[in-house]
Chains A and B, each alone.
Chain A
Amino acid sequence: MTEQHRHARPKSPQELRAAALETVLIEKGLASTDAIDAVVDAFEHEIGPQNGARMVARAWVDPAYRERLLRDAAGAAAELGYGGSEGDHMRAVENTPDVHNVIVCTLCSCYPWPVLGIPPVWYKSPPYRARVVREPRAVLAEFGLELADDVEIRVWDSSAELRYIVLPMRPEGTEGMSEEELAGLVTRDCMIGVAVPRVGAAA
């Protein structure tokens, strides 16, 4: 602990409350500093949508992997070393010219952490959770995604033990791209289903 930390007083009520809780958990032997550090470090440096993007790109170039991903997404994630908390059971749902998938958790904020990381605030917020099951086209339009009327929208409400990830369609004009370049097209929002990959879009 540096001098600076020692004297840094909490700046917000939430920070004070969290520090008080950590103090009690440490003093009662219920938590350890390094275990908490390990979790923070993993989510800040290892776990995030780049993991899911690698799986999507692999599925685009390797039909056998795509098949495994659609059959058992947790198994396909484990092949690349991803899994664990909030991703022990996962299902990939595939967009096609006729079907567009979007994921939500109306009761809470369930999300496939190992492959997409911590959910964005909007995913956890009441407007998204309340509205996307009822008016998905209006919500997708707010993200700039307009779908043709003949595309069926499937909204997956993650209410039990499965966590969902959308397998988007590979965009046109990507035939010569490497797997790594393809992964760069796949944003977090594409795997939630509120966007689709576009050539030239930043990951």
Chain B
Amino acid sequence: MHDLGGRQGFGRVEAEPDEPPFHQPWEGRVHGMSETADVGPGFRHAIERMEPAAYLTTSYYEHWLESIETRGIEHGFFTREDLAAAAERIAAGEPVPQRSDPEAAREARAMLRPRPQSTYTAPAPRYGVGDTVTVVRVLPAGHTRCPGYLRGAQGVVERVHAPMPLLDVYESQDGLVRPEAWYTVAFPAGALWEVERPGHTILVDLWESHLEAT
């Protein structure tokens, strides 16, 4: 359900004035847990596997809660029963336990500052700036960073980027690192849908696996 680009039937975009970063303290706790607790890869894929109606009717941080729970259970860090037992204790009035780990807190702060980046090696990019490319029609099973609205569309390479792990396989295949070149590709919106005039341009970052030569 998450692949929303171009879907119809949604109403106005409703902006909330003076919105705080977290609307409720529990949202901040979930953000902090997600950033600091390692329960394995697949953050987004766990959200994408949510039941569609639930996906659309729950909030961003409920999606995150779902992701931490799902991955923690699937990777064997805890069980559904552990969560239920803890919920019972909290509902009965027990406080959330506290645990101090100054080193983990230091690492958490460092993660939110400029930090060194890994570089990856991969075969030379197959496409160059200005090349016309076609987005694959057959999308991979599981997670993909190729939005469905682009399947089969033709675009022009606007920028070529240094290789990075293809997140399709990283997310779906338990953290498998398979670097490849990726590109910013420009698509005239009129080639995707009948659009309002004048037309506009959509620019999307796609890995080489999402493209074929035209």
Contact = CB atoms under 8 A, between A and B. Distances in A.
Given A83-B113, A106-B4, A160-B167, A34 B102 contact: yes
Interface in A37-67: 37-40, 42-44, 46-48
A160 B145 CA distance: 6
Interface centre among B23, B28, B96, B192 (most CB of A within 10 A): B96
A1 B141 CA distance: 46
Contact of B206 (A121, A132, A152, A159): A159
A20 interface: yes
Interface in A43-100: 43-44, 46-48, 74, 77-78, 81-85, 88-89
Interface string A112-129: 011001101110111111
Contact of B4 (A44, A77, A129): A129
B24 to A, nearest CB: 7
Contact of B146 (A47, A142, A159): A159
A20 B59 CA distance: 18
A130 B101 contact: no
Contacts of B62: 14
Contacts of A33: 98-100
Nearest to A108: B44
A38 B109 contact: yes
B90 A16 contact: yes
A160 B207 contact: yes
A21 B31 CA distance: 12
A12 B39 CA distance: 25
Nearest to B28: A40
A36 B33 contact: yes
B51 interface: no
Given A18-B26, A122-B16, A155-B202, A39 B112 contact: yes
Contact of A107 (B10, B82, B84, B147): B147
A34 B101 contact: yes
Interface in A7-28: 7, 9-10, 12, 14-28
Interface string A145-159: 000011011111111
Given A42-B109, A44-B28, A153 B22 contact: no
A150 to B, nearest CB: 8
B200 to A, nearest CB: 4
Given A120-B16, A127-B10, A36 B29 contact: yes
Interface stretch (A133-141, A167-175, A178-186): A133-141
Interface string B1-24: 011111110111111100111111
B122 interface: no
A66 B121 CA distance: 30
A26 B7 CA distance: 40
Given A26-B97, A39-B35, A157 B113 contact: no
A160 B114 contact: no
Given A34-B100, A40-B32, 6 more contacts: A1-B95, A18-B30, A83-B115, A122-B15, A137-B200, A138-B196
Interface of B: 2-8, 10-16, 19-33, 35-39, 44, 47, 56, 59-62, 65, 68-69, 72, 77-78, 82-84, 86-87, 89-91, 93, 95-102, 104-105, 107-115, 117, 145-147, 149, 161, 164, 167, 182, 184, 189, 192-193, 195-198, 200-207
Interface of A: 1, 5-7, 9-10, 12, 14-40, 42-44, 46-48, 74, 77-78, 81-85, 88-89, 106-109, 113-114, 117-118, 120-122, 124-139, 142-143, 149-150, 152-162, 189
9 pairs of A and B residues whose beta carbons are closest in the complex: A83-B114, A36-B32, A106-B5, A32-B101, A160-B205, A78-B114, A20-B87, A39-B32, A40-B28
5 contacts: A37-B105, A122-B16, A124-B60, A149-B198, A160-B167
